[in-house]
Amino acid sequence: MNNLMPTELAPQINAHFNGKFEVELKYRLTDREAFCARLSAKSPEVMLEDNLEHDCYFDSPSASLTSERKSLCIREMQPSGIMLWIVKGPEKDRCEAVNISDAAKAKSMLRTLGYECVLEINKRRSVYFLGEFHLTLDWLEGLGDFAELAIMTDDEAKLPIYEVQLLTLAAELGLGESQREFLSYRQLQETLKA
């Protein structure tokens, strides 16, 4: 497996994370080691391993984004140094992200516009490529281990096709329907705090 440095990531990031729609299947892992063994047997390409991610979700004081089923997040990743501005919604599959060079400045600009950080999530994440799909292996304190299988596209008509392909890949990796998690990490974290 090839572990790429941040400056070498641009072509892979552009190929795998380009598009305004995302099909994503999330699974709770009951046996991380067994899952990793099955993943390793498929010889994935490594984008990064064991990065620490800090997500800061912004909303207005009146929670206008949440009420419109939208989310706005500034993500900082270490040690890769990747910083992203991520917007999801209002449709379930709508997701767009862009690289930024200064997360502190982006957060300051959002605060100037009247937004505030309403939730912070920390996770340990590894990202792998399996053909046209990307897979993240996550650990979140208080929530445990998860695997997300995903693909991004600009072609909304391909979403059902990609979902079937991802379900097949999940089965090949030993992931079953009983492990599916339909809530976002944000929703899970908010449930944990409630």
Active-site positions read 57
Would you give the distance in Å from CA 83 to the centre of its chain?
13
Q: Could you tell me how many helices (H) and strands (E) the chain has, helices first?
A: 6, 9
Cβ atoms 84, 98 nearer than 8 A: yes
Burial (CB count <10 Å: 0-12, 13-18, 19+), residue 184 = middle
Paired tokens of 68: 């419109």
The single residue listed with the structure tokens 């620490």 is 52
Strand order in 83-88's β-sheet?
Answer: 95-99, 83-88, 71-78, 45-59, 116-130, 133-140, 144-153, 21-28, 180-181
DSSP H/E element including 158: none
Ordered DSSP codes for 1-61: --B--GGG-HHHHHHHS-SSEEEEEEEE-S-HHHHHHHHHHT-PEEEEEEEEEEEEEEE-T
